[in-house]
Amino acid sequence: MSDEARPPRTAVVIPAAGRGVRLGPGAPKALRALNGTPMLVHAVRAMAASRAVSLVVVVAPADGVAEVKHLLDDHALPERTDYRVVAGGDTRQESVRLGLAAVPEDVTTVLVHDAARPLVPVDTVDAVIEAVRDGAVAVVPAMPVTDTVKEVEPAEKPGAPEQVVATPVRARLRAVQTPQGFDRATLVDAHATVALAGEGATDDAGMVERLGAPVTVVPGHEEAFKVTRPLDLVLAEAVLARRRANDGF
Ligand code: CTP
Ligand code: MG
């Protein structure tokens, strides 16, 4: 096939190298089971469910690369989907950068998806990919926020009272999810030039924004929520149980 005839390739980088401190003691978050299957396997399957995705790069804890490889070898993916496992870094931003470095040159669209969002529906994944293929350089799925959000002057001691600085207009706020989709060159450029101190960037689109490039929002989905605290595990298992019940009828 000539280069021109080849369809654009889409790869997904899944950062899964976090410990899951807020979830409490136990295995690294991505390896925690939801209804008997590790969260990471749910997340990889959610990406592989899109026909457009030909490669999934999983970024594993540095001491867990072999374990994650075995895990993915043991759980069937569609034949069209390849996977690779690479070692992650100390921050999410570093892990994404290491995952991006393992994406082959011929990939034009890259998605970044948190292993901690195992239940995102395939329609959301496809909507993000379509928006990138239609010309957007950075695309984020997002939901309107339901709580009113306050900006505060953070207290030095956790739990201490804090002063409110501002109340942004709720109707203008969106809570962003993943997968976030990018023109590959733009995301690589962002990771090469935007270095955030401390925790690093919690959001890849935010790094592209800092380059001055436009970021587009498409509708997210309530089932794309991030598993962060123990109650989120209960919610995730309830969503899976509802899906199973609905499939049965
Ligand atoms: N992540 C990563 N490498 C890191 C830190 C985070 O790949 N050094 C990944 C996590 O595995 C997760 C995603 O980034 O899939 C989103 O991060 P978060 O929800 O904060 O997960 P953790 O960092 O694992 O959780 P916590 O912050 O509670 O420790
Ligand atoms: Mg974290």
Q: Assign 237 to helix, strand or coil.
A: helix
Select from 29, 113, 180 the residue to mutate for testing ligand 1; criterion: most ligand atoms less than 8 Å from CB: 29
Q: Is the CB of 34 under 6 A from ligand 1?
A: no
pLDDT of 167 above 90: yes
More confident residue, 103 or 248: 103
Q: Is the CB of 19 under 6 A from ligand 1?
A: yes
pLDDT at 233: 97
pLDDT of 4 above 80: no
pLDDT at 195: 72
Select from 13, 14, 19 the residue to mutate for testing ligand 1; criterion: most ligand atoms less than 8 Å from CB: 19
Domain coordinates in residue numbering, the chain: 9-142+175-247
What φ, ψ does residue 121 adopt, rounded to 5°? -70, 150
pLDDT at 3: 53
Residue 30 CA: nearest ligand 1 atom is: 11
Q: Assign 90 to helix, strand or coil.
A: coil
pLDDT at 200: 73
pLDDT at 247: 85
**pLDDT tens-place string over residues 89-133:** 999 999 999 999 999 999 999 999 999 999 999 999 999 999 999
End-to-end Cα spacing for the chain: 44
- SS3 per-residue string spanning 36-91: CEEHHHHHHHHHHCCCCEEEEEEEECHHHHHHHHHHHHHCCCCCCCEEEEEECCCC
Q: Is the CB of 113 under 6 A from ligand 1?
A: no
| Check whether domain 9-142+175-247 has CATH 1.10.760.10, yes or no | no
Q: Assign 218 to helix, strand or coil.
A: strand
pLDDT at 197: 65
Q: Assign 112 to helix, strand or coil.
A: strand
